[in-house]
Amino acid sequence: MPSSVVAKMIYDDEQETLRIIFVSGMVYDYKKVPLKVYEAMKASDSKGTFLNQYIKPNYDFDKVELR
């Protein structure tokens, strides 16, 4: 199901980094996210709700400035 908040998710399993590209164009890298958490987010009915409940409060992040 398409998300109204999350445009794309990219997971780097070597770095355990979850990159979230928002519909707004903003990009954030969430650090040390286990693969099982990423897989749960992929399977969730609401990516935005999952992100707000399980990712944002529990993982450090960097805002990515794309050129």
- What is the structure's pLDDT at 2? 59
HSE-up of residue 37 (Cα within 13 Å, Cβ side): 21
- What is the structure's pLDDT at 60? 98
Which pLDDT tens digit goes with each residue over 19-43?
999 999 999 999 999 999 999 999 9
Is residue 1 scored above 60 in pLDDT? Answer: no
The H-or-E segment that residue 48 falls in is helix 47-50
Whole-prediction pTM: 0.90
The two three-digit tokens of residue 58, written as one number: 């529990």
